[in-house]
Structure 1
Amino acid sequence: MIPRSVVAKHLARTAILRASTSSSSYPLLATRCLASKRPSSWRDSTLQNQTASYSGSATAAQSEKETITKLLYNIGSRKEVEQYLRHFSSVESQKFAVIKVGGAVLTDELDTLASAITFLNRVGLYPIVLHGAGPQLNNLLEKAGVVPDYHDGIRITDEKTLEIARKVFMAENLKLVEALEKMGTRARPLPGGVFTAEYLDREKYGFVGKITGVNKEVIEASIRAGALPILTSLAETPAGQILNVNADVAAGELARVLEPLKIVYLNEKNGLYNGDTGKKIDVINLDEEYADLLKQPWVKYGTKLKIKEIKELLDHLPRSSSVAIISAGHLHKELFTDSGAGTLIRRGFKLFHHNSLDQLDRDRVRKIMEREDPEVTSGQTSVSSYLHQLENSKGGFKAYGDEPYEVLAVVKNNDESGSGVPKLDKFIATKAAVLNNVTDNVWALLSKDYPAMTWIVDESDENKGWHFDKAEGSFSKNGKTLFWKGLNDVGKIETVVSQFLEAQTKDAVDAATSGASTFAAGQRRSFSTLNKSTNPFMGGRRQFSTSAAANKEVKKIGLIGARGYTGQELIRLVNNHPSMEISYVSSRELEGKPLEGYTKSPVTYVNLSPEQVKEKTQSGEVDAWILALPNGICKPFVEAVESVEEGKKMVLCDLSADFRFTDSWTYGLPEFNRANIPGATRISNPGCYATGSQLSIRPLLGHLAGAPSIFGVSGYSGAGTKPSPNNDVNHLRDNLIPYSLTNHIHEREVSHQLGTEVNFMPHVAPYFQGITLTVNMPLNKTMTSGDVREIYEAAYENEKLVHVLKGVPLVKENAGKHFARIGGFGVHSNGKRVVVVATIDNLLKGAATQAVQNLNLALGLGEYTGIPLD
């Protein structure tokens, strides 16, 4: 489950219009969604026509569908995208979404808007678009010498104003339709004929209408014909007199009739903002927050009116409907991920917290437990026995949830183990609750009552990542993970972890008993209680550590090719990793020598042949192999592993470029491919230049007007340990050496992964490690430096290994760091070209750190475990 604060990674218009040249792993999902959304009477012909005009062949159309669906996975997890597409595919096309577009958006963001709407249509959806034209109308009125006049916030519309308004609305309507048609998206202009109205008050407001009816047939006919309906906010009386109506009001009336899943108001600010803190509001749950929200001193004037109008609208719609206030560029994220991007407003449900069984609806408790509780569904316990246990629990309990019991959480005030720390005994939720972030609301409520507590989650839990996000520390043993938060006392952490160990298998009991005597002697086990800025393992989560003998969940790593600089960094990282240890380290040149810098156990370099790797894989002595070899060498080792795999596949992480273009291998750039790495067994670690380049370009992918140019400079460690002019210190002194000026492997890698051509010019400099990338990008719209920086800050807001700066990042400040830095954001005076600067350590985030990040995900560990985040 992704927190709502995670914001959209922008999708490229060019990528949407380009058929993918590589195979996709998601074709069935895209095909199902496109097919299920269209009425059967015209589905086949519509798809045929769109395919012919768009790509010219069935093969290209299928490739397009695959590309679109693959792009969806760049803005959300696989689970999120699939459940949202299934959800939207179950709704009639005309009930999917009503999108109200402000006139300023049509002027300033037309291409972005058309791209976003095209994207939705490409996955089989038919949003109904209604637009205003206020700024355009004011401009023309000023030119005509007509002074705009308002009363009670309503534009007074005389005959001259109405005459100009009709022309403006028609022109803006056709402008949007033409923009969509240019992208291959069929659209139908509907400047009239949808709304009927009567005069609001002719004497007071002139030709201003109050909507009395909506003609659905006009909209449905457009959709049946395979064209998006594009509406204006003009209405007609029964006698045919045209009246001006407020666009927001028109959107609301349209929503009341169609009852869509989403009502979207596009604005330039990408949401509503808290007037006190200046921060964007991610979610408003009206049933729970409305009364308190209206009491806030900053909620006044237009903001107050907008919230009241939305509340009145949603009160008359199904509870599944919601309002989103968002910018055009973030529309995909709002509709296809749990986290969203703008401000989501929904009715939600009131939350409860009870401390006795009599206050609970036992029938609803039974229903959710029988459906969602793994212990009940597996037969380990029954609902009756659990309720009886609660009734007799020492210290009592407190239950939390929402009105329909989509979420149920139970906290026992005193853990039975005697630790004295409250225990979150149950936290179960339906998929709908997860989808709508009800889980976060319940969590926030119980966290107010219980700032400190522990809980245990099965390692197979599909929402385990959500628990890691909420916890400050964790410890895994025998398929279970103990989480805790609010435990700032070292002794308390020791107690809860020891008691957790004692509750596991007999081996764990023996290990815990042995450890207990150590504690008694005053020798504490190693663990960290450092804060987020200093904790080298968990980025603020307190990580308990035991020896390999006590913790049988430690993963055994085999490292092939350890002589190089990257191999040495990997050894250091594994040495400090609480859940990994080195079993074998292979190097032809160092065979027989002790492994220096590794303190967990004595390890000697060996020279493993492919046959020996095969034997050790077959014997189960290794959980994962890291291949840190030059390009073109690792194939025999991969074949050796694959020749003995039966049942469970071995995890291979290759640091060379050998498999970066192979579809059967997972491309291991977690920031953009995180959902596909857990459980992966073949991981191709990206190149150092390629990682920095993609981090630099991808947030602006949807705003590119041409190929980016990348000027890259690396320290000489990037040239490896084999002597060459590019790592000869004397040759490099007072020098900067360009090399591989075209067709560099990283140029091809970045172009392949981004789906757009890039130009790359690498250089080597006379310092040891670190890369700087100066990336020049032409833009398809006018932007400011602040606009660009905001896009990057939003894209990487929750990425722990990507930092966005206001200034220009420097190599010397990032060398030895495990994260990339991005900054600069220099925009040309014409607003159509931006230069972004990135720095990355080629040996760490560009290689070794990223390999550990990938292995953590593939092996079921916390993503940042063992990676220093400061």
Structure 2
Amino acid sequence: MLSAAAVALRAGARRTVRRLPNRARLLPVTATLRHQRALSSTPARSTDLTTRGMIVQTLSSVGSKREVQQYLSLFTSVSSQRFAVIKVGGAILTDYLDELCSSLAFLYTVGLSPVIVHGAGPQLNNLLEEAGIEPQFEEGIRVTDAKTLRVARDLFLKENLNLVNKLEEKGVHAQPLTTGMFRADYLDKDKWGYVGKVTGVNKQSIETAINNGYLPILTSMAETDDGQILNVNADVAAAELARALEPLKVVYLSEKGGLFDAAGQKISAINLDEEYDHLMSQEWVRYGTRLKIKEIKELLDTLPRTTSVAIIHPGDLQKELFTDSGAGTLIRRGNKLLFATGLSDFKDLDALKSVLIRDREGPDAQATVDKYIEFLGENPFKAYYDGPMNALAVVLPPSNGRQATLATLTITKSGWLTNVADNIFTTLKKEHPQLVWTVKEDDENLTWFFDKADGSVTRNGDVMFWYGIENGDEVVKLMKDFAEHGRAMLGDSNLESRLHRAATNAHRAAKPVAQQARGYSTLARRPVLQTPLFSQSKGRGYVTQTNPNPPYGKKNASKSQPARVALIGARGYTGQELIRLLDAHPNMDLRHVSSRELAGQKLEGYNKRDVTYENLSPEDVRDMEKRGDIDCWVMALPNGVCKPFVEAVYEGRKASNHRSVIVDLSADYRFDNSWVYGLPELVPRANLAEATQIANPGCYATAAQLGISPLVEHLGGMPHIFGVSGYSGAGTKPSPKNDVGFLTNNIVPYSLTGHIHEREVSAQLGANVAFVPHVAVWFRGIHHTISIPLNKTMTSRDIRQIYQDRYAGEKLVKVVGEAPLVKNISGKHGVEIGGFEVDKTGKRVVVCATIDNLLKGAATQCLQNMNLALGYAEYEGIPVM
């Protein structure tokens, strides 16, 4: 019933929408493409399936297989001319022609037919200047006299032919449509001369060109009824084309690649119905940005809500069209949300019932919905929906010590197109600081809900999600209740079983049936992975789970006081980063900081209390452990130095029942099986939750393992890792590896064989790797280029999908299409993995990974391990990616 290829219909809703399940039980998200056509609707143009597969594989370098296939399904679900109108400015034809033609060739090869209209403004200015004609503008519109018109006409014909020829060179059949495409009247002959106001579009010529297998290439020239040629602004021509064709997409190609806010950040998406008035009131929205937003709103107000506008760079056309994240600025009308807190607030109760039943199947559907309506009439709730009710969410308020519960979420195809789903969830987070909901584990993909949730846990085929629950005790109680009662513990404890039983009995009373009635859920079914409680599945572990049974000596059940932390060796860069993280952590208190060089000085950067550097001896550590002064020891010492301090903790334990946690940042215990290796994304989190001694992985080793691990079962030989680190990785002790003068215009290889991280990665993955480290002149951040032999032929698309599935929901691992850059990971708390380029044999892939060596490579990972071992939520105090 639900078409998974058609749900995240990105023409209007692509920023966080993900593929949804094949079936969402009661009140699911529903969207079905009933009129999916072949890639080409005419015999004049057929797309070879092998060629199409190659193109899809190439597109998979910027998006997942799921993304590419679902957008192809969407774009081929409408008539050819209604796919997209693309406006190409003159500067694009001059500076980015090859990128433009390559992008259009991809679309053409997979059977998509955008309608192209171009201008040539910059070229016209240059030609007029060369001819001694000074351009004249009135109110921003070019004054076009007879001489200017003649130059413009010749120029437009030349640029059009050049574009057509370039496309033909790439195997694209393109047809120049340079006359008779736009009918026009004079805009104001006395004021602007030969400038036109479009009054009609020749759709038939466009349709004929597409039906004959050609891409239509239009110029922004128009004609009056008596044949006079007029100049028309290319943006205006594109808008009029869009009004005539009503396409899914209107694309404005831009050198800048989008619109930018006051801070210079690219705006990813604008929902006009919700944001227009606010945007136009902002001081930074002025001049060209203000005019562009205003013009786009005026255009979209005249088009179906399924149409969206994208402002993008020509080199990003595939990424914009075929990925959820997009590349430029997406602008859509959206829908304003309405609210109801009682059944009387709905104008039409029958319409509400129709919404609730539209995705139900089986003989008990109507009875189930009737009982649900009856329940809503007797209990408090708040509903969120748009005017046409393409989307509906129902939240039950907190009660009996339980958090608010998302009881219903149903979205139609049109609802996804207008992005109501994300608007609703944004509103839910504003109005409900804490929220809990469940989904089924037998669906396809968790990504959408993992994006929304802070944590999850699985039981008997159901997955419970939550956000906003920061108190560890509350999470523990929630998880225990779910483990004991399942979905029934949410909202009214007997709601699900009571409604299903009542509906089933009512139906049987009317007409007995031999077939057992389907199970009932008041919750929208979203896709999830099969991940048991406290286990590490092949796909991934649980997202955020607080240890329900902390070992003796860790934080007590009440957690009335923050965990007491001592940092041994705080002088280095990692120690400073950890101090900064602990300062922002709500449940950790840094009590002691030990550094021989800084003893007696005040600790800077920590604001919870005054702390002075100490020079703690192993004897001091032993006595503090004996007294139970510390809950967690962090050893931030060089390799080979921390053993006396660790043994002092052991000694202190012998004379006390206290059991603190030790996290060692050095390599001293990474090969000791009595210590838990602290890489939460690859090691069962249950092990870390029970650990009292954790070996924090190395920075190089973390990125390398995350970059290789998903392919271990597919290895056809030894992976080779080329790693380059910033000089902060060499520590604060002066050496050639952190000498900026020596590193400038240089790259320094070292430990060419047998580096400790080479042995660490090999030991943890259970497969030998070769690793060659280098140091460069930047301060922080590591880049790995990893060449991985494969034991079978694979595609880039397949491999990227493996990584996406493996790290779905991992908040500190981001899988990207392109090779990640060091400058983008510096200061970030996670790892980016991308590239996925396969050689021509299909049996070797190159994967790239980046990591900030001081954060996820050290301090951030240390805090993940501390959180898990001390009984807190894993990402507490960590800004996630």
Which bin holds the TM-score, normalised by the shorter protein? Answer: 0.5 to 0.7
1:177 Cα offset (Å): 1.2
1:317 shift after superposition: 1.8
Equivalence for 1:469:
451
* 1:72-103 deviations in Å (ceiling 9; x for gaps): 33333333333322222221111111100111
Aligned to 2:125: 138
Do the aligned residues in 2 keep the contact of 1:474 with 1:484 (CA within 8 Å)? yes
Q: Deviations over 1:111-160 (max 9, x none)?
A: 11111111111110110100111111111111111111100111001122
Aligned in 2, Cα 1:476/1:269: closer, same or farther, shift over 3 Å?
same
Q: How far apart are 1:188 and its partner, in Å?
A: 1.4
Partner of 2:110: 123
Q: Are residues 1:331 and 2:317 paired?
A: yes
- The Cα shift of 1:841 comes to 11
What is aligned with 1:410? 394
Number of the residue aligned with 1:524: 557
Distance 1:241 1:575, change over 3 A: closer
* 1:160 matched residue in structure 2: 147
Deviation at 1:245, TM superposition (A): 0.7
The corresponding residue for 1:459 is 441
Stretches of structure 1 that go unaligned for 5 or more consecutive residues are 8-31, 48-60, 543-563, 583-596, 602-654, 657-666, 671-676, 694-709, 734-743, 757-795, 824-835, 850-861
- Paired amino acid for 1:397: F
What is the identity, as a one-letter code, of the residue corresponding to 1:413? P
Aligned pair partner of 2:42 in 30, 40, 45: 40
Does residue 1:806 correspond to 2:808, yes or no? no
Separation (CA, whole Å) in 2 of partners of 1:353 and 1:422 = 17
AA partner of residue 411 (structure 1): V
Distance 2:208 2:420 in 1: 37
> Deviation string for 1:671-706 (max 9, x for gaps)?
xxxxxx8xx99655997546979xxxxxxxxxxxxx
Distance 2:770 2:60 in 1: 43
- The match for 2:278 is 292
**Contact 1:189-1:231 within 8 A present in 2 as well:** yes
Could you tell me which residue of structure 2 aligns to residue 482 of structure 1?
A: 464
Q: Distance in 1 between the 2:231 and 2:818 partners?
A: 52
Shift of 1:217: 2.4
Give the structure 2 partner of residue 363 of structure 1: 350
Aligned equivalent of 1:553 = none
Residue 193 of structure 1 is matched in structure 2 by 180
Structure 1 residue 315 and structure 2 residue 331: aligned?
Answer: no
Per-residue deviation, 1:517: 13
The match for 2:100 among 103, 113, 118 is: 113
Q: Take 1:864 and 1:690, find their aligned partners in 2: how far apart are those partners?
A: 29
Q: Is the 8 A contact 1:669 1:691 kept in 2?
A: no
Equivalent pair of 1:414/1:423 in contact (CA under 8 Å): yes
C-alpha deviation, 1:225, in angstroms: 2.3
Deviations 1:380-427, CA, capped at 9 Å, x for gaps: 98111112222222xx21111222222211111124xx2242222222
Corresponding position of 2:592: none
Query: Could you say what secondary structure the match of 1:284 adopts?
Result: strand
SS in structure 2 opposite 1:504?
Answer: helix
User: Are 1:270 and 1:326, in contact at CA under 8 Å, matched by a contact in 2?
Assistant: yes
Q: Among residues 667, 674, 677, which one is paired with 1:572 in the alignment?
A: 677
Match of 1:240 in 2: 227
- Aligned partners of 1:687, 1:526: CA distance in 2, in Å? 47
Residue 754 (structure 2) aligns with: 716
Aligned residue among 243, 267, 271 for 1:256: 243
Task: Give yes or no for contact 1:668–1:684 (8 Å, CA) kept in 2.
Answer: no
Pick from 224, 235, 249 the counterpart of residue 211 of structure 2.
224
SS at match of 1:197: strand
Return the letter of the residue paired with 2:217.
I
Counterparts of 1:429-468 in structure 2, within 5 Å, are 429-434=411-416, 436-462=418-444, 464-468=446-450
Q: Is the 8 A contact 1:4 1:341 kept in 2?
A: no
Structure 2 unaligned segments of length 5 or more: list them. Answer: 1-7, 18-33, 494-533, 535-546, 564-576, 588-668, 693-703, 725-746, 775-784, 798-812, 836-846, 861-872
Distance 2:367 2:758 in 1: 60
Cα distance, 1:367–1:727 mapped onto 2, change above 3 Å: closer
Go from structure 1 to structure 2 and tell me whether the alpha carbon gap of 1:456 and 1:751 turns closer, same or farther (over 3 Å shift).
closer
What is the deviation of 1:712? 8.5
For the residue of structure 1 that corresponds to 2:358, the secondary structure is: helix
Q: Does 1:271 align with 2:309?
A: no
Q: Is the 8 A contact 1:575 1:581 kept in 2?
A: no
Closer, same or farther: CA 684–161 of 1 in aligned 2, 3 Å: same
Q: How does 1:444-843 map to 2 (within 5 A)?
A: 444-462=426-444, 464-504=446-486, 523-524=556-557, 572-573=677-678, 579=684, 688-689=719-720, 716-717=754-755, 746=787, 804-806=821-823, 819=831
User: Which of 359, 374, 382 does residue 398 from structure 1 map onto?
Assistant: 382
- Partner AA of 2:316 in structure 1: H
The answer (yes or no) to whether the contact 2:188–2:195 under 8 Å persists in 1 is: yes
Structure 1's 821 and 386: CA in aligned 2 closer, same or farther, altered over 3 A?
A: closer
| C-alpha separation in 2, matches of 1:338 and 1:279 | 19
Could you tell me how far apart the structure 1 residues matched to 2:816 and 2:580 are?
16
What is the identity, as a one-letter code, of the residue corresponding to 1:409? A
The code of the aligned residue for 2:398 comes to: N
**For residues 85 and 324 of structure 1, what CA distance do their matches in structure 2 show?**
17
Alignment: residue pair count = 614
Partners of 2:270 and 2:330 within 8 A in 1 = yes
What do residues 189-246 of structure 1 show as CA deviations (whole Å, max 9, x unaligned)? 2222211222222221111111122112222222122111111101122222211111
Displacement after TM superposition at 1:277 (Å): 3.5
Flag the 1:117–1:250 CA change in 2: closer, same or farther, 3 A.
same
Structure 1 residues 838 and 576, CA gap change in structure 2 (3 angstroms): closer
- Cα deviation, residue 183, structure 1: 1.0
| CA 104–354 in structure 1, closer or farther in 2 if over 3 Å, else same | same
Contact residue 200 and residue 209 of structure 1 kept, 8 A: yes
2:40 alignment partner AA: R
What are the superposed Cα offsets for residues 713-759 of structure 1, whole Å, 9 maximum, x if unpaired? 76524776999xx9999x999xxxxxxxxxx9938779987889xxx
Does 2:388 align with 1:347? no
In structure 1, C-alpha distance between the alignment counterparts of 2:409 and 2:128, rounded to whole Å: 59
1:167-186 matches, within 5 Å, as 167-186=154-173
| Residues 1:121 and 1:711: Cα distance change in structure 2 (over 3 Å) | farther
Question: RCO higher in 1 or 2 (8 Å CA, sep ≥ 6)?
Answer: 2
Q: Tell me if the contact between 1:133 and 1:172 (Cα under 8 Å) persists in the aligned partners.
A: yes
What do the CA deviations read for 1:833-864 (whole angstroms, capped 9, x no partner)?
Answer: xxx9976799x999xx9xxxxxxxxxxxx999
TM-score (norm 2): 0.59
Q: Give the whole-Å Cα distance in 1 for the aligned partners of 2:104 and 2:225.
A: 32
Root-mean-square deviation (Å): 5.7
Partner of 2:527 in structure 1? Answer: none
In the alignment, the residues of structure 1 paired with residue 722 and residue 856 of structure 2 have an alpha-carbon distance, to the nearest angstrom, of: 8
Q: Hey, what does 1:697 align to over in structure 2?
A: none
* Contact residue 97 and residue 128 of structure 1 kept, 8 A: yes
**Structure 1 residues 711 and 331, CA gap change in structure 2 (3 angstroms):** farther
Q: Distance in 2 between matches of 1:260 and 1:573?
A: 51
Contact 2:57 2:796 (8 Å CA) reproduced: no
Q: Distance in 2 between matches of 1:429 and 1:333?
A: 25
Read off the aligned partner of 1:320 and give its amino acid letter. Answer: T
| C-alpha displacement of 1:252 | 1.1
Amino acid across the alignment from 2:333 = R
Pair 1:801–1:480, CA change in 2 (3 A): farther
1:627 matched to which residue of 2?
none
2:40, 2:111 within 8 Å by CA — same for their partners in 1?
yes
TM-score, structure 1 length as denominator? Answer: 0.59
